[in-house]
Amino acid sequence: MDQETMKLLGAAIAIAVGAIGPAIGIGMIGKGAMEALGRNPEASGVIMTNMILAIAFAEAVAIYALIVAIILIFVA
User: What is the rounded average pLDDT of the residues 35-43?
Assistant: 95
The alpha carbon of residue 32 and the mean position of all alpha carbons in its chain are separated, in whole angstroms, by 17
Integer Cα distance of 17 and 24 in angstroms:
12
Report domain extents, the chain. 3-74
Integer Cα distance of 74 and 41 in angstroms:
48
Query: Which architecture does CATH list for 3-74?
Result: Up-down Bundle (1.20)
Q: Does position 76 have pLDDT exceeding 80, yes or no?
A: no
What pLDDT, in 10s, does the model give residues 42-56?
A: 999 999 999 999 999
What pLDDT, on a 0 to 100 scale, did the predictor assign at position 1? Answer: 81
